[in-house]
Amino acid sequence: MNPEVPAPTPEPDHPKEVGNAVGAEVGDDVENKVRTVEILISNLLRGGVVLSMLTVLLGTVLSFIHHPDYTTSKEELALLTQPGATFPHSIMEVFTDARAGHGQAIVIVGLVFLIATPVLRVAISIFAFMYQHDRAYVVITTVVLILLLASFALGKVEG
């Protein structure tokens, strides 16, 4: 902890209210850390969103360039959106096809980025609470991440 602060200073309950009281330094410190974490998580979400959106747009544009009939043919839509539509399902297939420049596979890569963003947010939050020396929340967030990963694993077994 901060060595300059006298030992009996209690942990501030409400950072904002403590701001101009006796423990000003501690209050500001906590406040700054909370703000840093908020900006970090906000940027992470924004970055994930922008990256996945650009990837999906790239894939969509490539699909339309490779298949000029998508803009004229009314039969094509059924092939793309009815049961039995062919698109890669497994991560391996997705990456092989995406490398080959298949538009729909690149779209899926973008969707995977989108799905990964909230999970990454939970993982990053663990470190954020560590940085705030908030042990209870480090535990809570770790348990949430384990439960999330467990439901991923369970889904794989069932699917």
Residues 56 to 95: which contact other proteins by CB under 8 A? Answer: 56-57, 59-60, 63-64, 67, 70-78, 80-83, 85, 87, 89-90
Largest Cα–Cα distance of the chain, in whole Å?
76
In this structure, what token pair is assigned to residue 41?
Answer: 């998580």
CA dist., res. 139 & res. 129, Å (int): 9
Considering only the stretches 1-9, 20-28, 134-142, report the one whose residues sit in contact with other proteins under the rule CB under 8 A: 134-142
Q: Do the Cβ atoms of 132 and 30 come closer than 8 Å? A: yes
Closer residue to other proteins, CB minimum distance, 22 or 78: 78
CA dist., res. 115 & res. 156, Å (int): 15
Told to check if 13 binds other proteins by CB under 8 A, we report yes
Q: Which residues contact residue 21 at a Cβ distance below 8 angstroms, ignoring those fewer than 6 apart?
A: 27
CA dist., res. 136 & res. 112, Å (int): 31
Which residues of the shown chain bind other proteins in the complex (CB under 8 A)?
13-14, 16, 38-39, 41-43, 45-46, 48-49, 52-53, 56-57, 59-60, 63-64, 67, 70-78, 80-83, 85, 87, 89-90, 104-105, 107-108, 110-112, 114-119, 121-122, 125, 136-137, 140-141, 143-144, 147-148, 150-152, 154-156, 158-159
